Amino acid sequence: MIPAAFDYIRPASLDEACHVLDDAGEEAKVLAGGQSLLPLLRLRLAYPAALVDLGRLPGLRRVEDRGDHVFIGALTTHDEVLRSPVVRGHVPLVALAAATVADPAVRHRGTFGGSLAHADPAGDLPAVALALDCVFVARSAGGEREIPAAEFFVDYLEPALRPGEVLLGVRVPKLGEGWGFHYEKFHRTAQAWAVVGVAAAVRTVGGSIEEARIGLTNMGPTPVRARAVEAALRGVTPARPNGNGAAGGSRDPLRDACGEAAEGTAPPVDLHARPDYRRHLARVLTYRAVRAAGA
């Protein structure tokens, strides 16, 4: 379908963008790459009075190594993120998840900040931002503000950004030595949204899990930090795989711990899965993700 009519504004600077958004209030939507927004407009699921196109604002399309963290500018495309040597070297979980977003053509246009600000719990990056305790940097006419990932995803498609606020980028903390990472995504077809996804960062010492951070995709109205399974994983020594790649012995303590993965979640029901199936997936995929992350 053809989208409903809207006004189009392309501010030339960040200051102008903040003022335009401030004036427009709730009626305006920010346009970056448009890969989530344009399908919504075409299906007439959204009717913004105006689109404020930030796609060409200078300075927001970059990746910077800043010592203890990596800064990813909001307008950096998924394709640029997943190819960035800084991202791959220091915060590889972000690159692993970005590589699973949609398909190559969408990754050329879709932006890192756009997909986070879209706050879709089925998106791949929000769970990663939660697992890594990222910090969101936003700017309004009143100045800059930092928002921890744990406070950023307020509700379904609702980020903690206020009208008039622009997401500048995200600080992704480096976790240092000894960590392994994996993003495990279960989807029906190559480019489809995750039915469930699991972002895992795991630190093992001497074969035992010292610390695990687990973010869940599409297990509720917001992405979920799975604290219960993180606690259950602490101190677990996974069974060694036998020759067939399966865990040896009758019980794998890792599999038992992963039984906590769906604790406290409120997974949605849709055409593809019911909540009980999603809970099952969360447990199985967490096991796979933690294994693939090196445990």
Partner 1 sequence: MPRITVTVDGIRYEEEVEPRLLLVHLLRDRLGKTGTPVGCDTGNCGACTVMLDGRSAKSCSVLAVQADECDVVTIEGLGRDGELHPMQEAFRTEHALQCGYCTPGMVMAAIDLLRDDPDPSEEAIRQGLEGNLCRCTGYCNIVRAVRRGAQEMSGEEVRTS
The smaller minimum CB distance to partner 1, of residues 109 and 272, is found at 109
| Per-position x/- string for 138-177, each x denoting binding to partner 1 as judged by CB under 8 A, each - no binding | ----------------------------------------
- Does 88 engage in binding with partner 1 (CB under 8 A)? no
The smaller minimum CB distance to partner 1, of residues 37 and 200, is found at 37
Beta carbon of residue 35, minimum distance to partner 1 (angstroms, whole number):
6
- Does 191 engage in binding with partner 1 (CB under 8 A)? yes
Q: Measure the N-to-C terminal CA separation of the chain; round to a whole number of Å.
A: 48
The smaller minimum CB distance to partner 1, of residues 34 and 294, is found at 34
Distance between CA 261 and CA 286 in Å, rounded? 7
Distance between CA 122 and CA 219 in Å, rounded? 8
Question: C-alpha distances in angstroms, 190 versus 35, 40, 80, 227?
Answer: 17, 21, 20, 29
Question: 225 is written with which tokens?
Answer: 């930090």
Beta carbon of residue 31, minimum distance to partner 1 (angstroms, whole number):
8
Which of 34, 221, 259, 294: binder of partner 1 (CB under 8 A)?
34
Closest CA to 212 of 238, 188, 186: 238
- Which residues of the chain form contacts with partner 1 (CB under 8 A)? 1-8, 10, 31, 34-35, 38-39, 41-43, 51, 53, 55, 79, 102-106, 108-109, 190-191
